[in-house]
Structure 1
Amino acid sequence: MKWSYTGPMAVASLYIAILISISISPWFNWLENALSDLGNLRNQSAPFFNGGLLISGLLIITYSIKGFRIKAPLTAKFLALTGFSLQLVGVFCENYGRIHFYVSLMLFLFLLLTGLAYFFETKNYLALLILLAIPIWWLYFNDVIFH
């Protein structure tokens, strides 16, 4: 297996898990629900959603160790931590309350650090542009802008 394929496979498996979870959750609304709601153990989508997070996290870790560490070693370390954090979100779903909040926060922090490391190591300005979307997303979902 070419290890470089594990990165795209991680993204694909995550999107597939989300799409399956949403398709069996008619109550889910993008404007009213967090994705974490799909992983709530009271919902039939939980095994698909949480399982998808675990699989995607493992693929991200594999990609960072095997397929990415030579190109951008610091990014690879943060990416591995991002994958592990994604798995923790799948294990400690929203039923776990505060623990879920902290592992979700850890995921977004490592995602941000991964993006910053990638920008500094590769000078890829697309990575920087994507990072700028994070505060805009936060402002939108906290009803500060675009409402």
Structure 2
Amino acid sequence: MTALRYIGVLAAVLAWAVIIACVSLNPWFVFTKNALSDLGGPKASYPWLYNYGLVTTGALIIAFASYALSVSSNRLEEAASSFMIVAGAFLAMIGVFHEGTYPHVFVSNYFFAQMDVVALVWGAGSIASGRTRSGLGEVLVGLVGPAGAMAFRWPSSATLEVFGVVLIDVLVLLMTFDLGELEGLTRRSSRWRRGSAP
């Protein structure tokens, strides 16, 4: 169970590795002028690396969220985990519907918006479960994302997307710590049920 807790961290590491690799393979890419999706578009070198990387990262997010769902302690955490599964599916779809295809903008925007919802709802669930410090941090992530996107004039889509990715990484780290506590609760509950069995 402990290893499953770190799938989200693995997803974050993979995402950054893919971005860095694709940027290095496309020297024309400029963070202050381009969008990250340009790395998977028809003009990019090795666009499959970016697109398959997103599909794989989306699958890892779905696995992480599924594990979170399995150890959730209340309805808010269950709802947030379910929302995160949907977000992972939309991240994978960004790779499938790469730049230049009709649904690309929709699936890209929906992924980031859905992750903001995940942060707010999981944070509320953490607070309800008594994890006030991490819960407030998670709620803050959910508020800072859309507020920051609207409050500043970002020089490019890539800079705004990196801002969103960093916030998602913070959320994943906070959730990873939460899952450690939830695993402990699950183990104690399991021992109690075995001990009370006739």
Give the TM-score band, short-chain normalised: 0.7 to 0.9
Within 5 Å, which residues of 2 pair with 1:93-108?
93-96=98-101, 98-108=102-112
- The one-letter amino acid of 1:28's match is F
Aligned residue number for residue 139 of structure 1: 151
Instruction: Please give the TM-score of this superposition, normalised by the length of structure 1.
Output: 0.87
Within 5 Å, which residues of 2 pair with 1:79-94?
79-94=84-99
Q: In terms of Rg, which structure is larger?
A: 2
Aligned residue number for residue 164 of structure 2: none
Moved over 4 A (4+): none
Post-superposition Cα deviations, 1:103-134, rounded to whole Å, max 9, x if no partner, equal 11221221111111111111311112222332
RMSD: 1.7
Which 10-residue stretch deviates more, 86-95 or 122-131? 122-131
Contact (CA 8 Å) 1:21, 1:49: kept in 2 or not? Answer: yes
* 3-state secondary structure, aligned to 2:142: helix
Distance 2:100 2:122 in 1: 33
Post-superposition Cα deviations, 1:72-107, rounded to whole Å, max 9, x if no partner, equal 2111101101100000001001110x3101111221
Aligned residue number for residue 44 of structure 2: 43
- The one-letter amino acid of 2:125's match is E
Aligned residue number for residue 68 of structure 1: 68
Which structure has more relative contact order (CA 8 Å, sep 6+)? It is 2
- The one-letter amino acid of 1:68's match is A
- The one-letter amino acid of 1:112's match is D
Aligned residue number for residue 119 of structure 2: 115
Distance 2:85 2:10 in 1: 15
Within 5 Å, which residues of 2 pair with 1:25-40?
25-40=26-41
Instruction: Please give the TM-score of this superposition, normalised by the length of structure 2.
Output: 0.66
Distance 2:154 2:126 in 1: 32
Greater helix content: 2
Aligned residue number for residue 127 of structure 1: 138
- The one-letter amino acid of 1:53's match is L
The gaps in structure 2 that reach 5 residues or longer are 128-134, 156-198
The gaps in structure 1 that reach 5 residues or longer are none
Quickly say closer, same or farther: Cα 1:132–1:113, change in 2 above 3 A: closer
* 3-state secondary structure, aligned to 1:87: helix
Quickly say closer, same or farther: Cα 1:45–1:137, change in 2 above 3 A: farther
